[in-house]
């Protein structure tokens, strides 16, 4: 009799659409954080680009996968400081996804150049567009996570698109454009890592 009552109660709940709460929750993960796709690679929304602190960030396959850049570090450059505080550890999965090896080297460069800040820029302008401060003696300026120099203007247009150079190289303040330019510099320039002070 108890079994019959139990089944009857279950059927009533089903028919009435009454849900029984549980202690588990289900997360619906959607890939709605990409702004657009350029040459087969996603351009991230800023919120996505710095979300890598989640333990399963790589498992979600939110990151593009690029082949490693040309390697010119071993035997040619000073090793990066061993101090782990001089790194951007939360961004290391991103450097790996963009094929920027050695990862610890680019992690150090990002820490040293921008303090791990994607929107960093080492110059300022007044309301009329006149430069009021420039760190570089030649009045060029560096932008973004890896501080890409404004001298790469033509390459930025080629790699990131015409709009990337608008409003004083604003495109370089996105992680995607900045790291794609780092890939370009590593693969296409003779200097490779020499373009950044180590």
In a domain, 82, yes or no: yes
Residue 54 has pLDDT above 50, yes or no: no
| Whether pLDDT at 130 is above 60 | yes
The rounded mean pLDDT for the chain is 74
Neighbours of 139 (CB within 10 A): 10
- Residue pLDDT, tens place only, 159-168: 999 999 999 9
pLDDT given at position 6: 44
Residue 43 domain flag: yes
The 3 state secondary structure assigned to the chain is: CHHHHHHHHHHHHHHHCCCCCCCCCCCCCCCCCEEEEECCEEEECHHHHCCCCCCCCCCCCCCCCCCCCCCCCCCCCCCCCCCCCCCCHHHHHHHHHCCCCCHHHHHHHHHHHHCCCCCCECEEECCCCCEEEECCCCCCCEECCCCEEHHHHHHHHHHHCHHHHHHHHHHHHCHHHHHHHHHHHHHHCCCHHHHCCC
Region 9-21 average pLDDT: 35
For residue range 73-129, list pLDDT tens digits in order: 666 677 889 999 999 999 999 999 999 999 999 999 999 999 999 999 998 889 988
With 50 as the cut, is the pLDDT of residue 51 above it?
A: no
User: Would you state the pLDDT for residue 89?
Assistant: 94
In a domain, 173, yes or no: yes
Q: Confirm whether 75 is domain-assigned.
A: yes
Q: In the predicted model, what is the mean pLDDT of residues 28-49?
A: 35
CATH code of the domain covering residue 79 = 1.10.530.10
Domain assignment present for residue 80? The answer is: yes
In which domain, by residue range, is 140 found?
25-195
Q: Is residue 14 part of a domain?
A: no
Q: Quote the CA–CA distance of 4 and 19 in Å, as a whole number.
A: 20
Number of domains present in the structure of the chain: 1
Are 140 and 107 in contact by the 8 Å Cβ rule? The answer is no
Select the more confidently predicted residue: 133 or 39: 133
Residue 6 forms part of a structural domain? no
- Check residue 73 and give its pLDDT: 67
**Three-state secondary structure string covering 140-197:** CCEECCCCEEHHHHHHHHHHHCHHHHHHHHHHHHCHHHHHHHHHHHHHHCCCHHHHCC
- Residue 12 placed within a domain: no
**For the chain, percent of residues with pLDDT exceeding 90:** 48
């Amino acid at each position: 009799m108890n079994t019959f009552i139990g089944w009857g109660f279950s059927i009533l709940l089903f028919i009435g659409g009454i849900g029984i709460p549980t202690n588990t929750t289900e997360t619906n993960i959607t890939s709605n954080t990409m702004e657009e796709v350029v040459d087969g690679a996603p351009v991230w929304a800023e919120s996505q680009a710095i979300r890598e602190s989640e333990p399963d960030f790589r498992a979600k396959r939110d990151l593009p996968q690029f082949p490693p850049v040309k390697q010119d570090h071993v035997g040619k450059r000073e090793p990066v400081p061993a101090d782990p505080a001089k790194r951007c550890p939360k961004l290391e999965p991103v450097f790996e996804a963009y094929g920027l090896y050695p990862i610890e080297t680019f992690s150090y460069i990002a820490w040293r150049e921008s303090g791990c800040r994607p929107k960093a820029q080492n110059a300022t302008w007044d309301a009329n567009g006149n430069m009021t401060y420039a760190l570089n003696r030649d009045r060029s300026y560096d932008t973004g996570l890896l501080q890409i120099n404004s001298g790469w203007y033509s390459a930025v247009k080629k790699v990131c698109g015409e709009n990337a150079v608008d409003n004083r190289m604003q495109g370089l303040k996105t992680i995607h454009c900045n790291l794609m330019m780092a890939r370009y510099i590593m693969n296409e320039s003779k200097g490779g890592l020499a373009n950044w002070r180590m």
